[in-house]
């Protein structure tokens, strides 16, 4: 155990050191000292085998890629030991304090605000350093016939391009799934997506300023058309830059919320133009500037490859259950070795509905309770989910307990490496509507831990807000866990359940049998055809991701060195006789393609060698009857309120009285107004609110966690 902790500490320090090196390079790059030293280093490297291109790869790409390799190794080791995970979890609790509950960016946590401030300061520093350096050495242009003021304007425009470049360097990192780096600090995919949105907005703003200022200077000299259509032999290619800007604006406009939500297929299709965007960015900026953003592009490409290799294998449903609230519980067979943590998500594509759309859903089962099954709950909200519901319903109307075959492609599961709820003495779970789904997995996991006597006895307060009583059917998958069981069954021993039905009137004294009566009126349908090949494979492990990241990096470096060394013999030729810049760009593309292809081949061989047939698991026809029978003999401890919404601040204010001096984890998944109210309370209380009862001061800390699936 001590050796493992030492290894984890070494990996953590190494990862921080490599990220610090990468960050320092970006900070120092705009300075005159760096530029002078870099020209000397390139001159010396040019006479060696590594060459200028190799030097750029090693300095600008390798620090971050090495940090990624270390982080995947760290995830693999730390995720295998609960004590290591819990120790790490305590270190990050302070950053979950909501400091701004109402803003255009949503609820901002302390860690997010500090990260934003650091990034903005870095952008300001980069812009100031570059512009001030340019202004000191401005000389009138003989080729464009620009005066001093116009040259200064050109410098301002060009340096906005440098800011756009910095944004592009980190743009793709938040949307990594299997290769996600944010998992190391406990940030899940659905939370990090908004970082991608923020960075993309900044990048497009800087790109627009970059293009507008430069084109306005050209326009003032009546050379706009000539310059913008020019394909230069060397240096930056203006036409490629114009194409990059147009493609970027197209992607950005179709990604606006009003268009994305109404025309999701259009948004998804246009977003795939990112490949063309990156290609023309390379042609516009050149290979040396491309190396600055190469790390993120490489990791994103590897992530995409692993996802495609996983999703090419079509799986079939094991069973489906239709709930009266227009929701469907889908159950898949999985490999028993596939483990996942609560709040993990599974991306699902059903080719019969759409061949391109992927949709994320929370996993509601626990890998500790179900070794060979994995379940998700789908609530009908849009066209895709309604089509799925109609398909399952039409298949179930055949007067049979068996469904026809429905092919499904999956990606995932993706989730946190640490069980974030374990660090708390008390949990408050606040859910609205379909936002209950992430918490079903938490409840299942807690019940399995209590059943296996792992001594995790946190008190849980579940607040569930629905519009209609029928919507409580979303609790069906865990209805038996919400009731009192016998000591030898899986249960949650300290659970308080508060239900709010906002749009219907009823009696608060309604019995449990009346509430759960509608829940038991569901029927599970077993899939007719199933084979051992239909088992859900799961993504590649962290150590494999570390391996292919290292493999791709080394193969790319070797290819770029060989192509530059043996295909181009520049020597001391004059500039006009040297190879065009697009030749070097082509070498980058070829090297990148070879590196990715090598990873594809390695992954395919690994999957082929490691593939094993899973055992078919069947679902008994009497599962619903069993559920109903249990519901008849169990009585839950709960409260239900009709015709009103909860005042979350008032409800949460009662928690400190019961909690005392403890840590309370507050998890919320629901509408933004709900998240805002919960964040406001956590911020107000955590920043010094004290409660006096019986002349004694009692204080507990509330740590805010938001789960949001607005992708």
Name the residue range of residue 478's domain: 315-534+622-646
Alpha-carbon dihedral sign for residues 519, 523, 527, 532:
positive
Residue 227 maps to a domain = no
Give a yes or no: residue 61 inside a domain.
no
CA atoms of 542 and 538, how far apart (whole Å) = 12
CB 86 within 8 A of CB 80: no
Residue 599 is assigned to a structural domain of this protein: no
Angle at CA of residue 238, ends 233 and 241, nearest 5°: 125
Q: Which stretches of 455-595 are assigned E, i.e. beta strand?
A: 459-466, 495-501, 523-527
Q: What is the CATH number of the domain that holds 390?
A: 2.40.30.10
Please report, for the chain, how many H helices and E strands are present, in that order: 23, 18
What pLDDT is recorded for position 208? 96
Task: Give the pLDDT of residue 507.
Answer: 64
Vertex 344: Cα angle to 329 and 410 (nearest 5):
65
Residue 229's pLDDT is what?
A: 81
Q: Which helix (H) or strand (E) holds 621?
A: none
Compute CA distances 630 → 103, 517, 625, whole Å: 47, 11, 9
Q: Is 463 contained in some domain? A: yes
Confidence (pLDDT) at 2: 72
Q: Is residue 528 part of a domain?
A: yes
| Regions of the chain short of the pLDDT cut 50 | 83-91, 486-488, 532, 612-636, 689-696
For position 572, what pLDDT does the model report?
A: 52
Confirm whether 219 is domain-assigned.
no
- The number of folded domains in the chain is 1
Predicted pLDDT of residue 212? 94
Flag whether 679 is in a domain.
no
pLDDT at 270: 93
Report the alpha-carbon distance of residue 319 to residue 623 in Å, rounded: 11
Q: Where are the beta strands (DSSP E) in 490-558?
A: 495-501, 523-527
The number of C-alpha atoms within 13 Å of 263 and in the hemisphere containing its C-beta is: 11
Pairwise CA distance, residues 532 & 530, whole Å: 7
Q: What is the pLDDT of residue 352?
A: 86
In this prediction, residue 630 carries a pLDDT of: 40
In a domain, 216, yes or no: no
pLDDT of residue 656: 66
Q: What is the largest CA-CA distance in the chain?
A: 91
For the entire predicted model, the pTM comes to: 0.86
């Amino acid at each position: 155990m001590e050796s493992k902790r030492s290894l984890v500490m070494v990996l953590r320090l190494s990862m921080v050191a490599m990220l610090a090196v990468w960050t320092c390079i970006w900070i120092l790059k705009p300075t005159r000292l760096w530029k002078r030293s870099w020209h000397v280093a390139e001159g010396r490297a040019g006479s060696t085998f590594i060459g200028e291109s190799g030097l750029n790869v090693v300095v600008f790409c390798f620090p971050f890629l090495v940090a990624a390799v270390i982080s995947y190794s760290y995830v693999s080791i730390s995720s295998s030991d609960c004590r290591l995970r819990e120790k790490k979890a305590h270190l990050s609790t302070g950053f979950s304090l909501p400091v701004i509950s109402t803003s255009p960016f949503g609820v901002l946590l302390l860690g997010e605000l500090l990260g934003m401030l650091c990034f903005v300061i870095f952008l300001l520093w980069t812009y100031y350093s570059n512009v001030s350096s340019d202004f000191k050495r401005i000389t009138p242009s003989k080729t464009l016939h620009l005066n001093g003021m116009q040259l200064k304007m050109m410098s301002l425009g060009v340096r906005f391009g440098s800011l756009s470049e910095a944004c592009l360097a980190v743009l793709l990192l938040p949307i990594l799934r299997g290769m996600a780096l944010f998992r190391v600090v406990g940030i899940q995919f659905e939370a990090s997506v908004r970082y991608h949105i923020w960075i993309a907005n900044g990048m497009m703003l800087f790109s627009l300023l970059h293009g507008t200022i430069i084109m306005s200077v050209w326009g003032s000299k009546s050379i706009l058309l000539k310059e913008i259509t020019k394909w230069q032999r060397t240096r930056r290619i203006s036409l490629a830059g114009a194409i990059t800007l147009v493609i970027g604006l197209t992607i950005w406009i179709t990604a606006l919320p009003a268009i994305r939500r109404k025309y999701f297929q259009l948004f998804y299709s246009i977003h795939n133009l990112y490949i063309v965007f990156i290609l023309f960015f390379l042609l516009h900026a050149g290979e040396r500037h491309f190396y600055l953003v190469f790390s993120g592009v490489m990791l994103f490409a590897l992530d995409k490859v692993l996802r495609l290799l996983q999703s090419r294998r079509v799986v079939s449903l094991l069973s489906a259950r239709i709930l009266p609230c227009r929701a469907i519980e889908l159950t898949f067979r999985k490999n028993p070795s596939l483990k996942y943590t609560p709040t993990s998500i599974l991306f699902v594509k059903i080719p019969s509905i759409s061949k391109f759309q992927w949709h994320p859903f929370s996993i509601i089962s626990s890998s500790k309770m179900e070794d060979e099954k994995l379940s998700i709950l789908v609530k009908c909200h849009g066209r895709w989910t309604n089509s799925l519901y109609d398909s399952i319903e039409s298949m179930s109307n055949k007067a049979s307990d068996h469904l026809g075959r429905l092919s499904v492609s999956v990606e995932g599961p993706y989730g946190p490496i640490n069980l974030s709820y374990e660090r708390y003495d008390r949990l408050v779970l606040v859910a609205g509507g379909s936002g209950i789904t992430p918490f079903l997995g938490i409840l299942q996991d807690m019940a399995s831990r209590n059943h296996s006597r792992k001594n995790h006895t946190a008190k849980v307060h579940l607040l569930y807000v629905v519009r209609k009583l029928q919507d409580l059917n979303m609790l069906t998958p865990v209805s038996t866990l919400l009731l009192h069981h016998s000591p030898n069954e899986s249960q949650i021993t300290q659970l308080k359940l508060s239900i709010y039905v906002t749009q219907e009137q009823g009696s608060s004294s309604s019995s449990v049998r009346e509430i759960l009566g509608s829940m038991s009126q569901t029927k599970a349908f077993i899939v007719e055809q199933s084979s051992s090949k239909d088992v859900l494979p799961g993504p590649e492990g962290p150590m494999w991701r570390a391996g292919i990241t290292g493999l791709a990096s080394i193969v790319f470096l070797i290819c770029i060195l060989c192509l530059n060394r043996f295909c181009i013999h520049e020597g001391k030729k004059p500039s006009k006789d040297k190879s065009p810049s697009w030749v070097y760009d082509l070498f980058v593309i070829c090297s990148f393609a070879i590196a990715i292809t090598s990873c594809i081949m390695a992954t395919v061989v690994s999957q082929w060698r490691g593939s094993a047939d899973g055992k078919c698991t069947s679902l008994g026809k009497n599962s619903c009857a069993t559920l109903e029978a249990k519901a008849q003999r169990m009585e839950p401890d709960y409260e239900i309120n009709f015709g009103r919404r909860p005042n979350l601040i008032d409800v949460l204010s009662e928690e400190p009285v019961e909690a005392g001096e403890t840590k309370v984890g507050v998890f919320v998944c629901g509408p933004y107004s709900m998240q805002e109210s919960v964040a406001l309370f956590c911020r107000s209380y955590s920043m010094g609110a004290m409660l006096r009862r019986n002349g004694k001061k009692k204080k507990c800390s509330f740590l805010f966690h938001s789960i949001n699936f607005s992708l």
